[in-house]
Every structure is written in structure tokens, then in C-alpha cells.
Structure 1
């Protein structure tokens, strides 16, 4: 088995308490060390004492780490071995893992572009800038230590905290025990590239110890469901990253037939497991023809093992897959099933099963299911009208608005709870390096100070 050690300020640490990570068939793949509370507290204090690398050195180290992560042997695994391990351990299609590998590498290599985009246009990056002589706004950190409770649904979530390193924070990552392979590889690459053992740490823990990481950091980012968002909503030190509830809106003056493929891509791209995947489709007019067209295309997706190059759907052990199926059936009462009504579990014969897509039609844009996000391609298609307004569209990470109504677009852009608006034929998973995902992380971690020398 692989050994995924704690990566602390004294180097790798193999704890007495370890958790076995299995593959989709239940075979052991890795032993994940769990850091005890005392170790975590000491590691967080060591981060606070660690020196800050110069800005240029940080940028160069991130670029080196990104290249190593994607192309070199890191922590004993080649890129191909790492990708196969993640696919077998999580059930994500191998092509999705490969794409995530490239995305993480590009994010690290282009990190300077990202952080410069986030800086206010009138601010300078250092008090040494000549403009400070006459007085200038200087962009500075609000703290020293940043903690991340990472998600395990997709490897690419680990792009999300790289900006903190580039900005000079020392970073502690608590990986998901479901997918600890990616952060272990990435943290190892970053340490070898120049951040060292005291600039970034990996602290796998159980739930009882996890809070220690946040308590000893200046700021933290936590991934989770609605319960996590509610828990930290009033804590100004914590940036919760909850469900995306991304959506597509199609208004009556537009033709829906030409954009069906875009809607399907929004729902199913990347195996449909991401926060940017659309879970709600709202249609001004009769939603039934749209739901039928979406269902027809999603039904054609193949059921294949995760490591097959043609795989596009998530795979998991049969037991958890059946629990997902049971949960979905409970929540679909009163809806019209266009796809998945007779079950979403397609067993592969090796103890694992593909989670098939589901499409259900709702009677109202205010139906509670519209806010339901699951770990496979699942879409809720609902009617929408101008009387409903933007209320059903709130609390959305990405909204693709297929409309020509400028006043409606103005409302959507102005709505604080909609993070991103794509107008026209653009899939919700579209992202570009240097543009914010859910705002720039730097908006949370940095501030400006007036400095005059």
C-alpha cells in the first residue's frame, strides 16, 4: 500500500493512528496517517514562525511545483500512477483526473496573473514601490496563516488555495480522507520546489481534531454542505465553500433547441460532480420538451469503469451507490421523471456501480428540489416566468442565462447571491485562469493600507 504521511514542519510523519483508503472494489490502496491534536497545534505554531519568502521566489516556486505535479515523479508516483490511483479510489473518470492535473499545473504556473488580477488597480504590491514616496495604497496581508479544510469531490478544488501561498501566507491543508492523494502530491511538490517543510503542511485529521487547525489559523476556507455553510456563516475568519447550485435559465424569446448540448455539458461535464455543474434548468414556457431533450442525450452516456478512457460518469461501490439511489427516490415525490425514475445504479460486476444521470421535471420554480445538489449528473427542470423574477435564481455559483433581456441581465449581475453570470450559449463549468471562481480569494485575505515614505 501507499503511505500518505502527515507532512509537518519536521518533515513526513507516520502516525500510530492510520486509516486505510480502499479502491472501488474495497481493496486497500493507501494508509493515511492522522495527525493527533498536539501535533497539529505544534505544526500551526511552526507555520506562524516560518519566514515569508520574497514574492518573486514564491511565484517561481509555484510554477516549478505545478510543472513537477503534472510531469514528474512526486512522492514515489509518476503522473500516470497518481491519476490511476485517484480514479480507482474516487470513481472519477480517468480523463477527468487528467484534466484536473493539467488545470492545477496551469493554475500554479499562471498564479502571478491570478493574484495581480485580484489586486485593486490603484494599489501597489509593496511598500518598496517608488510610488509610495508620494503616498500610495499598498496591498497587504490581513494575517499570516491560512488553513484549508479541502473537499474530496474533485482534484481541481486544490487550485483554490494556491493564491494564498502566492500572497505570502503560510498554509495548512487538511485533506479529505476520501481523496488525500492530490493534496499529498501537491504539497510535496510545493515543499520540494522551495516552500520547505515550514511554509506549507498537510494535516490529515479526524473530525475531533479538525477544528484545531482552524482555531490556530488567522483565516480559513472550509468546503462542505449547507450544514457547514450554516456553521461558519457568522465567523468572519472563515470562508465557507458550500454547494454551487449552478443553474441554466432559458427565456421565451430565445430558441432552446440550439443550446441543448450546452445544457447537457453543463449538467454532465467532469462527471457531473462539481459545484459548477448545473443542477437546475429553468424554462420560460413549457419545460417538458427541454427536459425530454436533455434526458435523451444524457441517457446515451455509457456506463464504463472509471479507468476506461471513454468513461464519463462517476463510479462508486455498490452499497453507497444504492444509498444515493434511495435518497434520490425519496426526494423526487411529486415530480415527473424523464430519466432515472427506475433507478440510477448500473452495476459493473466487480462490486462497483456507475451512477447514471437523472432528470426530473418540477411544477414550480420554488420547489425545494431545485436547491438539491448530488454527486452525479442530476438535473431539475422547472417552469419560470417573469412573476417569479430572480428569487428562484438566488444562491447560485454559476448562472448561464440564455436571454436577450438586458433588464433581466442587469438584475442578475446585480444580485449579490449569484457569483457568476454567463450570458448566452456558455456551459456553467467554463472557467478561465485569472478570473474569480467565487470571488477572488485575495478579496478575503488582503487589504489596502495607505503608505507614505
Structure 2
């Protein structure tokens, strides 16, 4: 499962169309033009769409096979080069041959890249231009994109200390530590090459994988074709900061070539929906990042004192993240809470994503209609407090806002509570002690308002519940030094025994 926002939202459609079917060719080129961004409400960026090249071991590469990336209104704003299978194999081989940078150089370069990503103009794209373009591409409110920029910069600057949080207390970082003269565990990489199939529903997913660079991995990123600008600008910043072209690469591909990246890597992280979890869940070299299905439980307390927290948990980040609450369980009658929640969420305005006051996500109209159909087709016998007549609100300038939905189900184990969509959509259900922890399982974050310590013990010990927040803490709360879905280092690293004279 992912940091805000997760790649587990299966209904979010890509705002892209294939630009042609010619065989990929081409050679090294420069990156995007300086000043190529667009102001809010602008059409195609001045001078035509941005060229988002692959970033291989030989430098930027512009292929003949490209994908046109549209904004949510259908206006082309970028062209993404798609690389062929041979290019992928050569790039992955270059990563494997490369030497790992010294640790102090890696951490210094990460800090420089974070500063440039937040305040500079990697690939000639200023932060202001970048935030407007990503908001237009993804439909994410611009305030969320700006917050993600700060979060990515913070993760790069703190990658060293954050990476050390996963290290066992008995282990040291290097064989040269004095402790190894008497024998010690040493914290070391499991492998050398790490690959990421990134999500495009939220820029914040790119705050996690740079930690692999801090550990000394060489990294290949396959960007989402929905929003490839964030990894393009980030990889450019990392290279400008000192990481060689054989240390981190950006490999946009079509679906037929995507699995080649995973096969050529030692370890991989893949974002997606339930199908990704089913495909890779039993593959020891792949870390799937699937739906969060985060939940709130109100047991033995008055929900009215926690309504602000519940509303925020559902709607923060536009409801696009795996840490957004998708189900709320109430001991007793859930009807008053469902009604109050619907009233609060209905008051959120529909605004274009570039508007500073925007809260809700925007999609191309056809994609939004597809999400709406899925919701209404699967709501079944649930009672609609909000969204029963639809959730699509077309904008005058193109695209459509996905408005909140609140549905009430009749029992704690209702199958609808497992539906996670990329906007504020919440299922309100009754719960009693007789229902136990069963309905609360398979959860990234569970916020529990309860005084029942025996229940808390069961929640914390349940292996399918990744995080338990007790009290008035929103499901989206997180801190870089606290595990999200475990530490990434738990997957990338291992201990080995070293003793020396």
C-alpha cells in the first residue's frame, strides 16, 4: 500500500491517448523546454506539448513511439516517449554494471535534489509551472500537488535518517564499525537493482522510492502514463544533483514491455489494484502496493465529538489516497452519523483543479462517468445519503469533478465496504462486539475510537491491519520515521554477521 496517494484506485482512468504506432527510434535529446509550463486555464503549453523523454544510461532519449498526455479537459499538454524492449534491457544491464556511490555522496545528492525539486527548475520546469501542469494532468487539486512537492523534498532531505529507522537495534551500518571486531550484525542490501512501477493518482507516491537510493540501490522507475511529469522532473533533479545516469533511470513503456523491467531487476515495487496484489502477492521479489481500505471504528463513544476527524479522513487529499477512510463502523445505529457526514461532504464546492480552493479531484468526463457507473452498479441495496443520483459534476472549462458519496449498509460484513474509489466515497456500517474484528481486517489504517483494551489488543495483533490509531487521529496521519505499510527497508535490506581481526 502506498503513501498518499495510493496506486490502489482501480477506477482512475488515464488521461492519455496513443499518439502513433510507428516503430520506436531516436537518439539522445535535451529535456523539456525551459518555461514550458502553463498558467491555470491555459491550453497547450506555449510552443506545443512538453516532450517527456526517457532518461536512460546514455542520457535523455526521445523515441518515435510516443503517448499524448491530455489534461482533464482533453487538451494535449505532453508527449511521453515509450521505449522498446531492447532499450529496457540495455538500461537495466547498465544499472547492474554500475558501482554504488559512497553513502555520504548519496545522502548529499539526495538533499540537493530535494532542494532543487522544491525550489529549482529541474528539466527547465519551475515548481510553479510543474504544479499547474500536474494539477491539469491528474485532476488533483493544486493545493494537494503543492503539499506533495514539500513532502517529496522532505523525504529526499531526510532519506538517510528515515532509512535508518528500519535497521535492527543490534545491527551496525558498515563492516568497518568497531563493533564488528567482536562480531556484529551488519545492515546490508539484499540486492543491487530496484525497480518501481509507479502510480499516477498522486505525486506523493514518489516520496518513497528514493529511499532505495539512500540504501545504495540503483533504481529504474517506470512512470505512470497518467501523470509522468513528477518522476521525470524528480529523476532529472537527482541526476543534476550528482546521481549518475547509471544510478537512476526513467523507463516509460507500454504494457507489453513493463514486466521486462521487473524481470531484469533484483527487487521491485508495483502499484495497482487488487489484480496487482493477486498477481504479485506471492512473488518474494516484488512488493505490491495495493488498495488501503482504511477504516474508522466508533465503539462506546459519541461520534459527534469526532465528526471533524471523520470528515477529514474521508476527504483529505481529495479522497484519492490509500489512507483515506473508505468505511466507517458505528456501534449502534449508524444512520445519524451517515446523515451528518453527507451534510458536511455535500458542502464542498466543485472547482477546477487549479483553483486554490479546490478540494475534490477532477477527471475527464468519460472517465468520471465510468467511475460513477461502477459505484452505482455496485452500491446494491445500500442506502444513498449522498451520491445516489450520481457523483459527476461537469466543469464549464472541461473535465468533471467527482463529488462525494455516502452510502449506508445494513451489516458490518456488507461487501460494499471493500469498494475503494479515487474520490471521497465512504460506506457507513453498523458494528457490534459480536461482529468482532472480521469486518475490520485487510486494512492499511484503522482509527479506533474505543476504550475496550481487549479489542485494541486484537486489532494491533491482527496481521492484516497495518496501522492502528487510537483516539481522534485521522487515518491520513503519518510521519516519515514511522512505518506506513512497514518500512521499505524491511523489504530492501537484511542483516549478515561480520567478525574481523
Tell me if TM exceeds 0.5. Answer: yes
Question: In structure 1, what is the Cα distance between the partners aligned to 2:366 and 2:396?
Answer: 13
Q: 1:215 aligns with which of 246, 255, 263?
A: 263
Structure 1 counterpart SS, 2:433: coil
Structure 1 partner of 2:310: 263
**How many Å apart are 1:205 and its aligned residue?**
0.4
Structure 2 partner of 1:192: 240
In the alignment, structure 1 residue 398 sits paired with structure 2 residue 449: no
**How many Å apart are 1:434 and its aligned residue?**
1.2
Structure 1 partner of 2:478: 431
Structure 2 partner of 1:115: 163
Question: In structure 1, what is the Cα distance between the partners aligned to 2:416 and 2:201?
Answer: 21
Structure 2 partner of 1:384: 431
Question: In structure 1, what is the Cα distance between the partners aligned to 2:302 and 2:170?
Answer: 43
Q: Superposition RMSD on alpha carbons, in Å? A: 0.7
Q: 2:362 aligns with which of 315, 329, 332?
A: 315
Question: In structure 1, what is the Cα distance between the partners aligned to 2:372 and 2:166?
Answer: 42
Structure 1 partner of 2:374: 327
User: After superposition, what is the alpha-carbon deviation per residue over 1:205-245, rounded to whole angstroms, capped at 9, x for unaligned?
Assistant: 01000000000000000000001100011110000000000
Structure 1 partner of 2:204: 156
Q: 2:215 aligns with which of 157, 167, 175?
A: 167
Q: 2:138 aligns with which of 90, 95, 100?
A: 90
In the alignment, structure 1 residue 276 sits paired with structure 2 residue 323: yes
Structure 2 partner of 1:245: 293
In the alignment, structure 1 residue 62 sits paired with structure 2 residue 110: yes
User: After superposition, what is the alpha-carbon deviation per residue over 1:326-352, rounded to whole angstroms, capped at 9, x for unaligned?
Assistant: 111101120100101111011112221
Structure 2 partner of 1:294: 341
In the alignment, structure 1 residue 48 sits paired with structure 2 residue 130: no
Greater mean deviation of Cα atoms: 344-353 or 407-416: 344-353
User: After superposition, what is the alpha-carbon deviation per residue over 1:313-372, rounded to whole angstroms, capped at 9, x for unaligned?
Assistant: 001111111111111110112010010111101111222111000000001111111111
**How many Å apart are 1:76 and its aligned residue?**
1.3
Question: In structure 2, what is the Cα distance between the partners aligned to 1:404 and 1:191?
Answer: 51
Question: In structure 1, what is the Cα distance between the partners aligned to 2:372 and 2:390?
Answer: 6
**How many Å apart are 1:190 and its aligned residue?**
0.6
In the alignment, structure 1 residue 202 sits paired with structure 2 residue 250: yes
Structure 1 counterpart SS, 2:344: helix
Whether the aligned pair in 1 keeps the contact of 2:134 and 2:140 (CA below 8 Å) is yes
Whether the aligned pair in 1 keeps the contact of 2:155 and 2:208 (CA below 8 Å) is no
Question: In structure 1, what is the Cα distance between the partners aligned to 2:65 and 2:310?
Answer: 46
Question: In structure 2, what is the Cα distance between the partners aligned to 1:354 and 1:141?
Answer: 44
Whether the aligned pair in 1 keeps the contact of 2:459 and 2:468 (CA below 8 Å) is yes
User: After superposition, what is the alpha-carbon deviation per residue over 1:74-94, rounded to whole angstroms, capped at 9, x for unaligned?
Assistant: 111100000000001111000
**Equivalences, count:** 452
Structure 1 partner of 2:35: none
Question: In structure 2, what is the Cα distance between the partners aligned to 1:365 and 1:48?
Answer: 50
Structure 1: 4+ residue segments shifted above 4 A: none
Question: In structure 1, what is the Cα distance between the partners aligned to 2:159 and 2:451?
Answer: 35
User: After superposition, what is the alpha-carbon deviation per residue over 1:242-300, rounded to whole angstroms, capped at 9, x for unaligned?
Assistant: 0000000110x212101111001000001000011000101111111111111110000
Gaps of 5+ in 1: none
Structure 1 counterpart SS, 2:124: coil
Structure 1 counterpart SS, 2:355: coil
Whether the aligned pair in 1 keeps the contact of 2:65 and 2:82 (CA below 8 Å) is yes
